[in-house]
């Protein structure tokens, strides 16, 4: 993130509707691979489609969170500039498929996602793969804190939300390294929803007022944490993160990149601008958005578009002629 945040041009409301074309394209291109067992093929198709559509957008987007280093990812790599070069300069975080394993297996909750914010405002945490995150909706703002125990957070959230602890639902990635957090949630009397993958969708659901999920906690991807922060900030929710390197080389790379360890990144450090955009299209079905469907010659998509300045949440339903896509 730039030490001095001085955006030259601010992205406006139209940008969100341009970005959703790119997530729709990625989801549609991934559709033929759902349940076919080849996650690399689905991801490759989604990356190609997203990159092609981003190239037509009236902006200059710097990929802060992308597919990885240039040598490993020929497109949408960290540091790549996308767009037609006109219009606002923005930071973007992309995940053509958040949940490639879910897509390959035909499971729920795979999405295609893009987050954007004013240039220089998005934390680049890509050099460290994992982050311990704590996400809630508005009832957790000023109440919950990742430094507190899970039990304490559940009690305080319960008071703020007016909801008994035993009715609180906490989403957590189902990983061995999250087992202690899972046990703590259950021992405090709350319920868990274990996620196979896709903690971006889990975090956004936790921040939404109409969602069954109240919290999304535990260790997941650090790039996904920054993507989630853009949406959570727009929704008026709460997110904190602590980098969780698994290997010594990650700590060394993170230190070289200026990242902090044993440090709580607050929401405004994860994304400094209030002018954020979060756009996601369903690849497979899930509570956040429905997956791609094909009925005869028509392809149907469902997307969610969240804009930070206005706090607006829109659902976008689109129909495409299959003959022009597949």
- For residues 198, 199, 200, 203, the Cα torsion angle rounded to the nearest 10 degrees is 150
State phi, psi for 56 to the nearest 5 degrees.
-95, -5
Distance CA 22, CA 31 (A): 14
Side-chain half-sphere CA neighbours of 36 within 13 A: 11
Residue 155: CB atoms within 10 Å = 17
Q: What percentage of the chain has pLDDT greater than the value 70?
A: 95
Which residues fall in the annotated binding site?
43, 67, 95, 98, 224
Question: What pTM, to 2 d.p., does this model score?
Answer: 0.93
| CA quadruple 308, 311, 315, 320: dihedral sign | negative
Mean pLDDT of 24-40: 96
pLDDT in tens, 54-85: 999 999 999 999 987 766 777 899 999 999 99
CA distance 87 to 259: 30
Question: In this predicted model, what pLDDT tens digit does every residue of 256-285 receive, in sequence order?
Answer: 999 999 999 999 999 999 999 999 999 999
Residue 135: DSSP 8-state: E
Give counts: helices (H), strands (E), the chain: 9, 14
Q: Read off the pLDDT of residues 222-252 as tens digits, 9 standing for 90 and up.
A: 999 999 999 999 999 999 999 999 899 999 9
Residues contacting residue 162 through CB under 8 Å, at least 6 positions apart: none
Q: CATH second-level architecture of 15-119+276-324?
A: 2-Layer Sandwich (3.30)
Q: Residue 282 has what pLDDT?
A: 98
The CATH number assigned to the domain with range 130-270 reads 3.40.190.90
List pLDDT tens digits, range 177-206. 999 999 999 999 999 999 998 889 999 999
CA torsion through residues 208, 290, 200, 172, sign:
positive
Contact 131/227 with Cβ under 8 angstroms?
Answer: no
Dump the DSSP string for 282-308.
ESS--SSS---EEETTEEEEEEEEEET
- Reply yes or no on whether the pLDDT at 93 is more than 60: yes
Instruction: Give span(s): CATH 3.40.190.90, the chain.
Output: 130-270
What are the start and end residues of each CATH 3.30.540.10 domain in the chain?
A: 15-119+276-324
Q: Whole-angstrom Cα distance, residue 109 to residue 169?
A: 17
Residues marked as binding for Mn(2+)?
43, 67, 95, 98, 224
């Amino acid at each position: 993130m730039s030490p001095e945040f001085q955006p030259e041009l601010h992205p406006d409301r139209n940008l969100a509707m341009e970005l959703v074309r790119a997530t729709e394209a990625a989801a549609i291109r991934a559709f033929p691979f759902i349940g076919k067992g080849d996650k690399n093929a689905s991801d490759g198709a989604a990356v190609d489609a997203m990159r092609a559509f981003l190239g037509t957008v009236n902006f200059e987007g710097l990929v802060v969170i992308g597919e990885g280093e240039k040598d490993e990812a020929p497109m949408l790599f960290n540091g790549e500039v996308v767009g037609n070069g006109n219009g606002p300069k923005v930071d973007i975080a992309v995940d053509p498929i958040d949940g490639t394993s879910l897509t390959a297996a035909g499971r729920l909750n795979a999405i295609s996602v893009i987050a954007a914010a004013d240039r220089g405002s998005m934390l680049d945490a890509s050099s460290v793969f994992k982050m311990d995150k704590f996400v809630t909706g508005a009832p957790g703002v000023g109440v919950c804190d990742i430094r507190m125990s899970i039990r304490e957070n559940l009690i305080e959230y319960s008071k703020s939300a007016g909801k008994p602890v035993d009715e609180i639902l906490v989403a957590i990635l189902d990983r061995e390294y999250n087992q202690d957090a899972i046990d703590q949630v259950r021992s405090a009397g709350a319920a868990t929803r274990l996620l196979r993958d896709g903690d971006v969708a889990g975090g956004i659901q936790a921040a939404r007022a109409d969602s069954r999920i109240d919290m999304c906690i535990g260790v997941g991807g650090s790039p996904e944490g920054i993507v989630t922060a853009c949406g959570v900030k727009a929704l008026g929710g709460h997110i904190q993160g602590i980098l969780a390197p698994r290997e010594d080389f990650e700590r060394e790379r993170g230190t070289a990149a200026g990242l902090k360890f044993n440090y709580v990144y607050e929401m405004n450090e994860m994304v400094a601008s209030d002018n954020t955009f979060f756009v996601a299209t369903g690849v497979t079905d899930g509570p956040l958005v429905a997956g791609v469907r094909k009925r005869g010659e028509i392809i149907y998509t469902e997307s969610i578009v969240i804009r930070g300045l206005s706090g607006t949440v829109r659902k976008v339903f689109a129909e495409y002629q299959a003959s022009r896509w597949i």
